[in-house]
Structure 1
């Protein structure tokens, strides 16, 4: 069986999604014999063409699975791409001697990649980090029959179904109901909602007299400490630091080397040693 080589753009769900779905739906489904032959060729001979055909013939299956996760508000194209990664991992690890079809083996890998993508991108703050929380996250969304909050009986039924405590169901339900709020006001916000943005609740301390005095004292103290530290250096080291770091028209290593009649490397060593002495003196002040 040959699926033929297709342009890369056509086989990218991130581009024209409709064209992608139509394209992968045209790839013929493998018969058990064809799949066994390709799987054997890949497993025993490492034939990459066999791997490509196994992947291409199952892309429609990834689309089917990805569509079942549409309710999470993430782009379908992204879900399909992640599912394709899982499919390729499954094909790589598929053992034809197990006696199962590739689709039965691959479904777990496809869903695992999609789950991981959803958990990474569904909220800025992670809603599920442990294995138990991840299971509860996906099962609770399916268990809720309506948009309203679960009553006590429903929460207990879900907890019993999933084998967890009711408090964990309530906690995850709260996480599912939360949403990400922008720190800054959006451009589309009206005048009333514009000032509700968290950025407007921050205290602006730039013009606080106490803060300005503190900054001024800190700057003055830093300058004084630097002057004292420089005075402890020998003339050559002090001049090198001033010319290299404090002058408006800074000198290069080679310029100072020519002036003092030494190598540029020697100037660099003197600069490094002088800088270390200055830092030590400032920290000790």
Structure 2
């Protein structure tokens, strides 16, 4: 069954489901809470699907399919049922309304645009309240510049005027594909937007050349290290070839010599490496200091 068919079936069943009296609702929610009675859960959820359908319809202006919003409202309804405490004396519809709205709003924020918006409470309030607040202020203060409206909206919601301006721009225009052609040419579509983006990354030939040079220098170094005696090799490896180089003092303690002696051995080993590298690979001179 497709998502569309499942949603349509769910909405038809919801419209036919009987309303629950307070005592019926309490008995069913207690059965679900205490015994995990699936039939009780089904009756409670089905009786309140009207609420999810009604709330989904209020968000249809965001351009997403209503059947998908209803499905998300159903998810919120199930979450409310899982958390509801029937002994607190609150009607289930009152408790579930918040979870249904939150689930639908989260879905809209995830899917309304390919550019992920802010998910903080203030950013969500801005996303869902901007159009309403702007229309209200424009009616109360006709002719007021956008900058003044943005300042007042920002003050009301608790965000910056820059955030309001950015959200207004996002809500005013659809996403633009980077593959969309800009202009037309006689031989076909013009260049896409992505063709005009400037990248700071190195060119591919530079990247590949750097990889080849790096592998060659690593091989040269491994060959040169074979000319060192075991103690010299250990000092160079621990001092120069590890991300966190060992100190002269710690090396001296592990080798049983003074740190000054470690320094002397290190300098001697480095001189050996330079000599071996230049003898075997004269073109390595730019990399040998």
Report TM bin, short chain. Answer: 0.5 to 0.7
Residue 200 of structure 1 is matched in structure 2 by 195
State the partner residue of 2:101.
111
The question of whether the paired residues in 2 share the 8 Å contact of 1:136 and 1:169 is answered with yes
Aligned residues of 2:183 and 2:191 also touching (Cα < 8 A)? no
Partners of 1:55 and 1:88 within 8 A in 2 = yes
Unaligned runs of 5+ in 2: 224-287
5+ residue gaps in structure 1? 1-8, 205-209, 231-284
If the length of structure 2 is used for normalisation, what is the TM-score?
0.60
Bigger Rg, structure 1 or 2 = 2
Is 2:29 the counterpart of 1:39? yes
Distance 1:211 1:44, change over 3 A: closer
More helix by share: 2
Normalised to the residue count of structure 1, the TM-score between the two structures is 0.61
Cα drift, residue 203 of structure 1 = 8.2
* Residue of structure 1 in register with 2:248 after alignment: none
Which residue does 1:92 correspond to in 2? 82
- The alpha-carbon deviation at position 108 of structure 1 amounts to 0.6
Residue 163 (structure 2) aligned to one of 165, 168, 185 = 168
Q: How far apart are residue 81 of structure 1 and its match?
A: 1.3
In the TM superposition, 1:184-223 aligns within 5 A as: 184-185=179-180, 191=184, 194-201=189-196
Say whether the 8 Å CA contact 1:127–1:175 is kept in structure 2: no
Report if the CA contact (8 A) 2:81-2:96 is conserved: yes
Mark the CA change 1:184 to 1:50 in structure 2 (over 3 Å): closer, same or farther.
same
- State the alpha-carbon separation in 2 of the partners of residues 211 and 35 from structure 1: 66
> Given the alignment of the two structures, is residue 51 of structure 1 paired with residue 16 of structure 2, yes or no?
no
Deviations 1:208-258 (A, max 9, x none): xx976985796699689879989xxxxxxxxxxxxxxxxxxxxxxxxxxxx
Pair 1:136 & 2:126 matched: yes
- Distance (Å, rounded) in 2 between the aligned partners of 1:98 and 1:71: 36
Q: Secondary structure at the match of 2:19?
A: coil
What SS does the corresponding residue of 2:4 show, helix, strand or coil? coil
